[in-house]
Chain A
Amino acid sequence: MSKSAYSIDSGEEKLDRVIIVAWVDNEAGVLARVSGLFSGRGYNIESLAVAKVDEERNISRITISTNGTKSVVEQIKAQLLKLVPVHKVAEFKIDDNSIFKELALIKFVGGADLLQKAEKICVDFKVEFLDKTPLSFVAQIVSSRREIDDFIKKAKPFGLASITRTGPLAMTKGSETIKDNKGKVL
């Protein structure tokens, strides 16, 4: 009963996790256009990070972590590029050619014993301590998604109270850059 005339027959294909980066005009509603495209077409957003990166040209860089079959990922890219304020879309595969980093701020609350144990784990993961009180501290970790997941899992029993994280940002390795359709480096 699950067959539908509307879907691509791709049941067997495996889902890839990819990072899609879009350079967009920094204007009202642009984020709604991008996120609306994902929800409207049934694509998944795992995380999304956005900020202005080019003051002069008023361009923002949106980094979306998503998953889908190969053809769905191609569609996401094509549909994104169709949006009028989108200048360029690039796909970053989880491989050796790109750097992926995510930032997380994690608050621990508890008694001295508990916090001591938590701190020990934090030191193992080379986190930075941002705010310390006798009953709490906030740790900052900049790392891969997997390592942050790992850290959270290990630290959880020791007073972990609150987490905020950015989702991954992506950058190509080496001297390679990404250019827009006029050849300008983005």
Chain B
Amino acid sequence: MSTELTGAEIVFKALSDHKVEYIFGYPGGAVLPLYNQLFKQKEIKHILVRHEQGAGHAAEGYARSSGKPGVVLVTSGPGATNMVTALTDAYMDSIPLVCITGQVPTHLIGTDAFQECDTTGITRPCTKHNWLVKDVNQLAETIHKAFRIATTGRPGPVLIDIPKDIQFKKGIYKSHETIQMDSYQPNFKGDPTQIEKAVELIANAKKPVFYTGGGVINAGEKASQSLRELVALTGFPITSTLQGLGCYPGEDPQFLGMLGMHGTYEANHAMHDCDLMINIGARFDDRITGMVSKFSPGSKKIHIDIDPSSINKVVKVDVAVVGDAQSVMSSMIEIIKKKYPGFKNSNKEKISDWWKQIGVWREKKSLSFKQGKNIILPQYAVHRLYELTKDQDTFISTEVGQHQMWAAQHYKFSKPNRWMTSGGLGTMGYGLPAAIGIQIAHPKKLVIDIAGEASILMNIQELSTAVQYRLPIKIFILNNEYMGMVRQWQELLHDKNYSESYSEALPDFVKLAEAYGAVGIRASKPEELDEKIKEMINVNRPVIFDCVVAKEENCYPMIPSGKAHNEMILGPEDEDSISEEGKVLV
């Protein structure tokens, strides 16, 4: 007969069994027994945030940069509701999170008790699964299931709501080896006949393109290696979604850059004109496809995805392989090597016209910009930041908006898990707490949050967390005094009526940094930028870098809403091409 443990002890034993090293959280009435247990043990370290949303994003940053699940502990009521944005963010971007919330005691549930809310009800649509644990003997099993569900198949956030009385009650601990889930069996290996069909299409393509996404990163580091092998083996061009950046080296000649709304000219034109699209771990998001009816009209499409519901959801495909990206890619490599030895060379001629055409598109140099003498262009700032940090293993997070797109365009990643950005939900305020989570996972590495002056204010309180734990994160603000992307859309679509998009009454970011006990640096002239960036890198403390940039610079190239991939605008001279119907789209 095994000894009985309290609910709180069960929680920490289970976390320890799942090799959890850090939890991000904020205490409150309904989790006091759990915090008491935290106090009594030494194995698991707790990072105290300043707002529960910050805990969620920090856990996301931790998870995305380490490949391990992020764990969050917050209280009932407002603690739980403050987590909703982070849970939704993790759900959209397929990030494994295990969120533990306190709940009012079982006998008070439903009475509108103090700090009570229907946590499982509120979070049902934004978690992969959630539980309200009403029996302490179910607690261990529930936590084990939570970890399995969060980390397998298409990863995602899960939530366990634990009433306070259950945290006190004694019950039996079950080990995780005994857990069975009949109804949850995600596919891992792809269907071999579908994989064969995919390889056949690859062998016959004249104008192929790989279109890869966050699924490759979620499939683990080996998946990125397999992708590189597959791309090298075929000699095909490759483009990546925002979330997939880093799984293929950004400076490799076969890489066309990011695709989509602010993707490169060559990537989007290749997507539009290709005869074979090989989608690995991407989901035909609307920022990628533009107008679906005009999306890559002449191509056969292969879709490799671990989530069956992604298949044919937005774009109908010809060959669908439901499985893990790594497993499917290594099968494909094996088949190509066996069936078509020396494929790259024998196939070279077939795709040589395609590469020539890509070369013509590349000549457009769609990411180019002209840096003058007086005002720093945001693109230039990111470009310099990249040049000055590329020699060390740098981790980048971002907030959401123009700066995010400029970071994606001008910062080149050579490894997976180095780029953490809120893509699906587009959460302003993501980057700073995410950087905290990243720095926790990688204490010795350089971690930079490329931010905007509006986004950063959404979770600026977390700077206090960074100072408390001596996390030397760098917050690199491209300060144009506007919610830049909102302003850009207002310029292009709403007659330059800059309704509420000007950042009025901004704080002095240098003084703000100092007030928090961090370091503040400002650069406003192009000639001082390099020196100041070096200064930032060399400070072993949290830094806010206030980079004063051109106020009305727009993010180009751009596919206007309602347009196809081959109808991009490259700069201001093309702006009047946005139609009336395009304006209604988001």
Chain A residues with a Cβ under 8 A of chain B = 1, 3-9, 24-25, 28-29, 32-33, 36, 40, 71, 74-75, 78-79, 81-87, 180-182
CA distance A40 to B121 in the complex (A): 13
Query: B90-132 interface mask toward A, CB cutoff 8 Å, 1 = contact, 0 = none?
Result: 0000000000000000000000000000001100110011001
9 further interface pairs, Cβ-Cβ under 8 Å (given A1-B581, A3-B581): A3-B585, A5-B290, A5-B562, A8-B314, A9-B293, A81-B309, A82-B309, A181-B185, A182-B182
List A contacts of B286 (CB < 8 A): 5-6
Chain B's closest residue to A76 (CB) is B309
Bound-state Cα–Cα, A4 to B290, Å? 10
Hey, which chain B residues are within 8 Å of A24, CB to CB? 183
Q: Is the CB of A32 within 8 A of B293?
A: no
* B561: min CB distance to chain A, Å: 6
**Contact A87 B182, CB 8 Å, known A5-B561, A9-B293, A29-B120:** yes
Are A32's CB and B182's CB within 8 A? no
- A87 with B585: CB separation less than 8 A: no
| Residue pair B132, A1 in contact (C-beta under 8 Å) | no
What are 27 A-B pairs with beta-carbon distances under 8 A? A1-B581, A1-B584, A3-B562, A4-B584, A5-B290, A5-B291, A5-B561, A6-B286, A6-B586, A7-B292, A8-B292, A8-B314, A9-B293, A24-B183, A29-B121, A29-B132, A32-B121, A36-B124, A36-B125, A71-B312, A78-B309, A78-B313, A79-B309, A83-B129, A84-B184, A180-B182, A181-B182
Known: A25-B183, A84-B149, A87-B183. A78 touches B308 (CB 8 A): yes
**When A and B form their complex, which 7 residue pairs have the shortest distance between CB atoms, in order from nearest?**
A78-B309, A9-B293, A84-B129, A87-B183, A5-B585, A5-B286, A78-B308
Closest chain-B Cβ to A161's Cβ sits at a distance in Å of 35
Instruction: Kindly provide the distance from the CB of B91 to the nearest chain A CB, expressed in whole angstroms.
Output: 12
Checking A6, A32, A182 against B124 with a beta-carbon cut-off of 8 angstroms, the contacting residue is A32
CA of A71 to CA of B313 in the docked complex: distance in angstroms? 8
Contact between A9 and B308, CB atoms less than 8 A apart: no
Q: Does B307 contact A (CB under 8 A)?
A: yes
Asked if B311 is an interface residue, CB under 8 A from chain A, the answer is yes
Chain B, interface size: which category?
A: 20 to 34
Query: Secondary structure at chain B's binding surface: helix, strand, loop or mixed?
Result: loop
Q: What is the CA–CA distance of A29 and B290 in the complex, to the nearest angstrom?
A: 37
Contact B312 A74 (CB under 8 A): yes
Contact of A84 among B128, B292, B293, B308 (CB under 8 A): B128
Query: Cα distance A83–B182 when bound, in Å?
Result: 12
Question: Are A5 and B586 within 8 A (Cβ)?
Answer: yes
Residues of A near B293 (CB, < 8 A) are: 9
Residues from chain B with Cβ under 8 Å of A82 in the complex: 307-309
Q: Separation in Å of the A24 CB from the closest CB of chain B?
A: 8
A81 CB contacts on chain B under 8 angstroms: 308-309
- Whether the Cβ atoms of A40 and B125 lie closer than 8 Å is yes
Assembly CA distance A182 to B184 (angstroms): 12
Chain A positions within 8 Å of B290 at CB level: 5
Q: Is the CB of B120 within 8 A of A86?
A: no
Smallest CB gap from B132: residue in A: A28
Report the minimal beta-carbon distance from B101 to chain A, rounded to whole angstroms.
Answer: 15
Question: Which of B183, B286, B585 is packed against the most chain A CB atoms within 10 Å?
Answer: B183
CB distance from B409 to the nearest CB of A (A): 21
Within 8 A of A (CB), among B390-435: none
Q: Which residues from chain A contact B314 at a C-beta distance below 8 Å?
A: 8
Q: Which of chain A's residues have a CB closer than 8 A to the CB of B124?
A: 29, 32-33, 36
* B126, closest chain A residue (CB): A40
A74: B residues at CB distance < 8 A: 312
**A24 CA to B537 CA in the complex, in Å?**
54
The answer, among A4, A36, A78, A84, for a CB contact under 8 Å with B585, is A4
CB distance from B493 to the nearest CB of A (A): 14
- Assess whether B183 is in contact with A84, with CB atoms less than 8 Å apart: yes
CB distance from A75 to the nearest CB of B (A): 6
For B292, B307, B586, which residue has the most chain A Cβ atoms within 10 angstroms? B292
Q: Chain B contacts of A9 at CB under 8 A?
A: 292-293
Give B249-300 interface residues, CB cut-off 8 Å to A: 286, 290-293
A8–B289 alpha-carbon span in the complex (Å): 11
Contacts of A85 on B, CB cut-off 8 Å? 183
Output the least CB separation between A29 and chain B (Å). Answer: 6
What's the least CB distance linking B277 to chain A, in Å? 17
CB distance from B555 to the nearest CB of A (A): 18
Question: What distance in Å separates the Cβ of B218 from its nearest Cβ neighbour in chain A?
Answer: 16
Q: How far is the CA of A8 from the CA of B182 in the complex (A)?
A: 33
Q: Which residue of A lies closest to B289 (CB)?
A: A5
Q: Mark B145-156 against chain A: 1 for CB-CB distance below 8 A, else 0.
A: 000010000000
Q: Fill in one digit per residue for B298-336: 1 if any A CB lies within 8 Å of its CB, else 0.
A: 000000000111011110100000000000000000000
Count chain B CB atoms within 10 A of each CB in A5, A36, A81 and give the residue with the most. A5
Shortest Cβ distance from B310 into A: residue: A78
Of all chain A residues, the one with the shortest Cβ separation from B295 is A9
Inter-subunit contact B292/A75 (CB<8 Å): no
Q: Which residues of the partner chain A approach B307 to less than 8 Å between Cβ atoms?
A: 82
In the complex, what residues of B have CB within 8 A of residue A182's CB?
182
Across-interface contacts of B308 in A (CB, < 8 A): 78, 81-82
Closest to B314 in A: A8
Q: Which of A3, A32, A75, A78 is close to B584, meaning CB atoms less than 8 Å apart?
A: A3
Per-residue A-contact encoding for B556-586, CB less than 8 Å = 1, 0 else: 0000011000000000000000000100111
In the bound complex, CA of A126 to CA of B572 (Å)? 75
